Structure 1
């Protein structure tokens, strides 16, 4: 058994930020990472991924992103930044150390493929995007083309298809559909419900930067103020086959943990007819896909851009006791039970995930090093406590 002041699970941005924030306060930590590299999820993302937040608001504690980076850094630039960040903070990382169980024993016992560790505090920094969610539909097993999750998509060329259906309407779905359309493929987009869309920029200002300026106002008021601009930008949504959600983007984030599509060109490609919008999938057979709106079309590849779920059930034996049926800790709760088990990077926000991770890392470090109470649960009904994601 190896002792450490704090064990951090996951060497992504959240884990690296927590280790740096603790180091600033003179507190040691050890990161356990299941992959053989840090920022593993960034390595596996599709090639053309870019941040949708300005680099000024995307730096982690103590180290801003380089001025040489463009306004919206690329996937490879984010990886470069995180690697330099870890080196600058002399971060201790054990690779190939997939965690199998975290259990309370006075302090905490963390079992991993690299051995057993004991610590007074554990920070789970594996985040929301951990295990791919793969939907199923009637006849899916009969589909004769390629069937893959967005986590397996690299680029339009490697896809090796001429007619591709992208399932979903999140940012991954929008980016992948856009890339395939720009590569000259026939692209379908399967959208099964109401959606929220926001522009990447408004009057030259990044939408996430505007959200930061508006963050202290009530979310329904912010949606009310922004609604006329969004209606003007996307007033033809119904003609494009899209149903706009009745609740605004920020309200949907707050209540459901669902982010809007940040439009980087997808809507323009739908308007031009390069991307065809369909309803949800009804069934498939061979290369033909039928949709809930009664239409059908032929595809030789389907990319399921249907998101991820946290991997907490795999590492916390008492996860149901802690969170009930929720997929993760209650929103905004960094230490839900006040027992030294922290969670970083599990909250969905409109102001940018990396920025939020930095704030959470500092709060967690302050709690661990100063003993301050942090985000203890408030008296509430079990239903409200388990809204989760």
Structure 2
């Protein structure tokens, strides 16, 4: 048994930010990371990924992103920044320590798959929303003759080997993967099951997330109402293109349903010129043919499931059902659901940018732990 002040689970941005904030408050911590290196999820993301938030609002507590970075840093630049951040804050990390159980005794016991146990006064789970890929199932899926992969397994369009590609979903991963495939000259379709929101990467040359930061003090439904005419003008052809507009605005969907809009970096232009075709939800498949809910069918060689992730907290928390009242994560904004020393960082989608939100949460969690 190793006695530790605070154990942090996960060495991604949230875990690193919490460790740095705790250090600033004079508290020790140890991060347990299941992978061989920090920022493991960023290393697995597709090659072309860039931040959708400007670097000026994406730095973690105590260290802005380098001035030489572009406005929207790349995946590799984010990894480089996080490695520098960990060194600068003297973060202690134990790699290849996969946590299997977190249980309450007098304090907290954190158990790992290799049989180690860590005794902690407080624990921060910083594994975030993107832990376990969601893989939808439809009739005839097992008979599909091509490849089916989740977006977490997608590296770049060239690796698909050409052919006809169907991207399932309409979030940011779906939009960027479809865009890359279209730019690579592949025949590309998107299966979009329900109503969606779309926002541009920038408005009047200002990053949309920066605008959201300026508007954050106003009620989100009011902000949606103010922004609606501009978005309507920008995407007035949505329904003609086969997309159904959500009845609620982007901020309302984030705040009430944890659904983020598509941040358009060029996907809509490809849809407008017909290089990306829109289909509804999948009904079934047979060999290479995919049948859709509206009666249409089309042949595809590859299906990419850009269908998101779930936190998978039930795997490590024995009191999972009771702790979250049947939900799969803490309630929005609740960093310590039972006030018992178990904290959660990085589980709140934000229109102002996830890295910025993580920094705010890390500072709040560190102050709370220091006051204990």
The two structures have a TM-score, normalised by structure 1, of 0.95
Deviation per CA, 1:135-183: give whole Å up to 9, x if none: 0000000100000000000000111131100000000000000000000
2: CA distance between counterparts of 1:28 and 1:113? 23
Indicate the residue corresponding to 1:384 in structure 2.
none
Once the two structures are TM-superposed, the CA of residue 27 in structure 1 deviates from its matched residue by: 0.8
CA deviation after TM superposition for structure 1 residue 48, in Å: 0.3
The answer as to 2:157 corresponding to 1:164 is: no
Structure 1: 5+ residue stretches without partners: 372-389
List per-residue Cα deviations over 1:338-380 (Å, max 9, x = no partner). Answer: 0000000001111000000000000000000023xxxxxxxxx
Cα-to-partner distance string for 1:98-119 (whole Å, 9 max, x where unaligned): 0000000111000013510001
| Displaced runs of 4 or more, over 6 A | none
C-alpha distance in structure 1 between counterparts of 2:213 and 2:56, whole Å:
12
* Deviation per residue, 1:23-59 (Å, 9 max, x gap): 1111110000001110000000000001000000000
Alignment-derived partner of residue 32 in structure 1: 32
Distance 2:317 2:194 in 1: 33
The question of whether the paired residues in 2 share the 8 Å contact of 1:126 and 1:311 is answered with no
Displacement of 1:248 in angstroms is: 0.4
Corresponding residue for 1:214?
Answer: 215
Structure 2 residue matching 1:238: 3-state secondary structure = coil
* Unpaired segments ≥5 residues, structure 2: none
Whether the 8 Å contact between 1:161 and 1:185 is mirrored in structure 2 is yes
**Residue 321 (str. 1) matches residue 322 (str. 2):** yes
Residue number in structure 2 paired with 1:344: 345
Number of the residue aligned with 1:41: 41
How far 1:190 sits from its partner (Å)?
0.2
Provide the aligned C-alpha RMSD in A: 0.6
C-alpha separation between the residues in 1 aligned to 2:239 and 2:195?
A: 10
Q: Which residue of 1 aligns with 2:267?
A: 266
Residues matched between the structures, number: 371
Partner Cα distance (1:201, 1:33) in 2:
35
Once residues 204 and 273 of structure 2 are traced to their aligned partners in structure 1, the CA distance between those partners, rounded to angstroms, is 23
The residue aligned with 1:378 is none
Give the Cα–Cα distance (whole angstroms) in 1 for the partners of residues 187 and 263 of structure 2: 22
Q: 1-side partners of 2:205 and 2:371: how far apart?
A: 42
Paired position in structure 2 for 1:376: none
CA distance in 2, matches of 1:237, 1:113: 49
Alignment partner of 1:155 is 2:156: yes
TM-score of the superposition, structure 2-length normalised? 0.99
Output the CA distance in 2 between the equivalents of 1:360 and 1:287: 46
Shift of 1:324: 2.5
The aligned counterpart of 1:197 is: 198
* Residue aligning to 1:23: 23
- Counterparts of 1:222-261 in structure 2, within 5 Å, are 222-261=223-262
CA contact (8 A) 1:8 1:123 kept: yes
2:2 aligned residue:
2
Instruction: State how far apart, in whole Å, the 2-side matches of 1:325 and 1:162 are.
Output: 42
Aligned to 2:240, the other structure's residue is in SS state helix
